[in-house]
């Protein structure tokens, strides 16, 4: 049985990943900020080899180390999905500041801390896939509208980190995917998004299945449709 650890799994894309992976018979460890408040997640089948809900705060870089010490066995899919978009860092004029530092902490540095803590468990697994939930907004080549300083900057930093991880972890057989889920109807994506969470997650899980044993996909930035995105 495959085992996935996914962050930010209490709502939005992360919750749907947990749901679909459980349906496919995976063991899912769902890492969330407030397990007590994760009622939709906890309604999914819990128990031995099914769903485990654990506490994780992306702003605390010790959090992944504590989790790695607590969790038994290999992790086939490590999915750094938790992310944020701060309205305070959108527009030129007052974007630079603590809100932007927080965005970089959560969107870029926390995924690296997660991979650093779990690389041994991923390397010991059968599937050996790391997925980073990036965004097309982090593409410098694709930026035709400006603004979005904190979100764009932090996702571009995540992309750079993902590329380095793909090179540094290649000799351990780990495939690192940098993913854009599409524009999805979640709290973050809003009601006008083009995809449902079901559609986006099905597409992302197809890409992840293709990445199993496929080092040629490592360090690439993929649209959920499977197309490569420009950096």
Ligand X SMILES: NC(=O)c1ccc[n+]([C@@H]2O[C@H](COP(=O)([O-])OP(=O)(O)OC[C@H]3O[C@@H](n4cnc5c(N)ncnc54)[C@H](OP(=O)(O)O)[C@@H]3O)[C@@H](O)[C@H]2O)c1
Q: Which residues bind ligand X (CB under 6 A)?
A: 7-8, 10-14, 33-34, 56-59, 81-84, 106, 133, 135, 180-181, 183-184, 186-189, 193
84 vs 145: CA distance, rounded Å: 20
**Helix 149-168 vs helix 110-123: angle between axes, to the nearest 10 degrees?**
20
Q: Considering beta carbons, is residue 61 or 123 the nearer one to ligand X?
A: 61
CB of 49 to ligand X, least distance (A): 23
Q: How far is the CB of 122 from ligand X (least distance, A)?
A: 19
Choose between 143 and 215: whose C-beta lies nearer to ligand X: 143
Asked if residue 52 lies in contact with residue 32, where contact means CB atoms within 8 angstroms, the answer is: no
Per the CB < 8 A criterion, the answer to whether 190 and 184 are in contact is no
Q: Tell me the chain's radius of gyration from C-alpha atoms.
A: 16
Closer CB to ligand X, 93 or 230, in the complex: 230
Contact call for residues 13 and 184 (beta carbons, < 8 A): yes
Alpha-carbon distance of 184 to 198, in angstroms, equals 9
Q: How far apart are CA 118 and CA 54, in angstroms?
A: 15
Residues 227 and 37: their CA atoms lie apart, in Å, by: 36
Smallest distance, ligand X to C-beta of residue 125, A: 23
CB of 193 to ligand X, least distance (A): 5
Nearer CB in complex with ligand X: 125/133: 133
Structure tokens at 208: 């992840």
155 in Cβ contact with 137 (< 8 Å): yes
Q: Which is nearer to ligand X, 106 or 113 (CB)?
A: 106
Toward ligand X, which CB reaches closer, 27 or 136? 136
CB of 82 to ligand X, least distance (A): 3
- The closest of 200, 221, 95 to 155, measured between CA atoms, is 221
**Residue 173 Cβ, how far from ligand X at the closest point, in Å?**
26
Report how far residue 228's alpha carbon sits from residue 89's, in angstroms, rounded to the nearest whole number.
28
């Amino acid at each position: 049985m495959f085992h996935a650890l996914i962050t930010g799994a209490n709502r939005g894309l992360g919750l749907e990943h947990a749901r679909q992976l459980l349906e496919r018979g995976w063991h899912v460890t769902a890492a969330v900020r407030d397990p007590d408040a994760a009622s939709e997640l906890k309604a999914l089948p819990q128990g031995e080899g099914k769903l485990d809900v654990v506490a994780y705060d992306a702003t605390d870089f010790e959090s992944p180390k504590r989790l790695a010490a607590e969790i038994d066995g290999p992790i086939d899919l490590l999915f750094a999905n938790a992310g944020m978009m701060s309205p305070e860092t959108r527009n030129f004029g007052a974007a630079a500041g603590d809100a932007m530092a927080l965005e970089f902490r959560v969107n870029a540095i926390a995924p690296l801390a997660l991979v650093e803590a779990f690389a041994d468990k991923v390397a010991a697994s059968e599937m050996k896939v790391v997925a980073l939930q990036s965004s097309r907004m982090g593409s410098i080549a694709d930026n035709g509208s400006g603004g979005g300083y904190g979100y764009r900057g932090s996702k571009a930093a995540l992309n750079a980190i993902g590329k380095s991880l793909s090179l540094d972890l290649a000799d351990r057989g780990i495939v690192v995917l940098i993913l854009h889920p599409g524009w999805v109807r979640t709290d973050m994506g809003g009601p006008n998004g083009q995809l449902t969470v079901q559609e986006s997650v099905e597409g992302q899980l197809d890409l992840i299945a293709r990445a199993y044993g496929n080092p040629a996909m490592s360090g690439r930035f993929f649209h959920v449709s499977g197309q490569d995105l420009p950096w």
